[in-house]
């Protein structure tokens, strides 16, 4: 299985600021996914990040709010911009395995005050 790390593991941020979350994988993968889990809720897909192309965003998520970078096949970043308390969530990255399984990082717990 893939080993995925995320930084930071948690953060408390002020309203109106931005936070960049990093996702590092121990193997090269074509696709990486970013999910959000709001308090008490299940996971929702934010976007798909492919190396060498623009990220593809799901309905309800826009690039200006959640810009994504994918500079190589083992790394991606998600920025949460101009944060509000509604952005308080756990943000998780995931990657597919070789036989259609999917593995998730440990998550970044974000609290916006």
Partner 1 sequence: SQELEQSPQSLIVQEGKNLTINCTSSKTLYGLYWYKQKYGEGLIFLMMLQKGGEEKSHEKITAKLDEKKQQSSLHITASQPSHAGIYLCGADDDQGAQKLVFGQGTRLTINP
In Å, how far are 10, 18, 113 from 49, measured between CA atoms? Answer: 22, 19, 28
Q: What angle do CA 76, 82, 86 make, to 5 degrees?
A: 95
The contact set with partner 1 (CB under 8 A) reads 1, 31, 33, 35, 41-45, 48, 58, 90, 92, 94, 96, 100-107, 109
Q: How far is the CB of 35 from partner 1 (least distance, A)?
A: 8
Q: How far is the CB of 71 from partner 1 (least distance, A)?
A: 21
Please say which residue, 39 or 82, places its beta carbon nearer to partner 1. 39
Q: How far is the CB of 99 from partner 1 (least distance, A)?
A: 8
Please say which residue, 20 or 48, places its beta carbon nearer to partner 1. 48
């Amino acid at each position: 299985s893939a080993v995925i790390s995320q930084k930071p593991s948690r953060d408390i941020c002020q309203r109106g600021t931005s936070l960049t979350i990093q996702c590092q994988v121990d193997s090269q993968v074509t696709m990486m996914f970013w999910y959000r889990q709001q308090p008490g809720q299940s996971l929702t897909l934010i976007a798909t990040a492919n190396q060498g192309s623009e990220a593809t965003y799901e309905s309800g998520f826009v690039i200006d709010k959640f810009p994504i970078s994918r500079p190589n096949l083992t790394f991606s970043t998600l920025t949460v911009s101009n944060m509000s308390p509604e952005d308080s969530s756990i943000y998780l990255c995931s990657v597919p395995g070789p036989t259609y399984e999917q593995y998730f990082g440990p998550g970044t717990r974000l609290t916006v005050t």
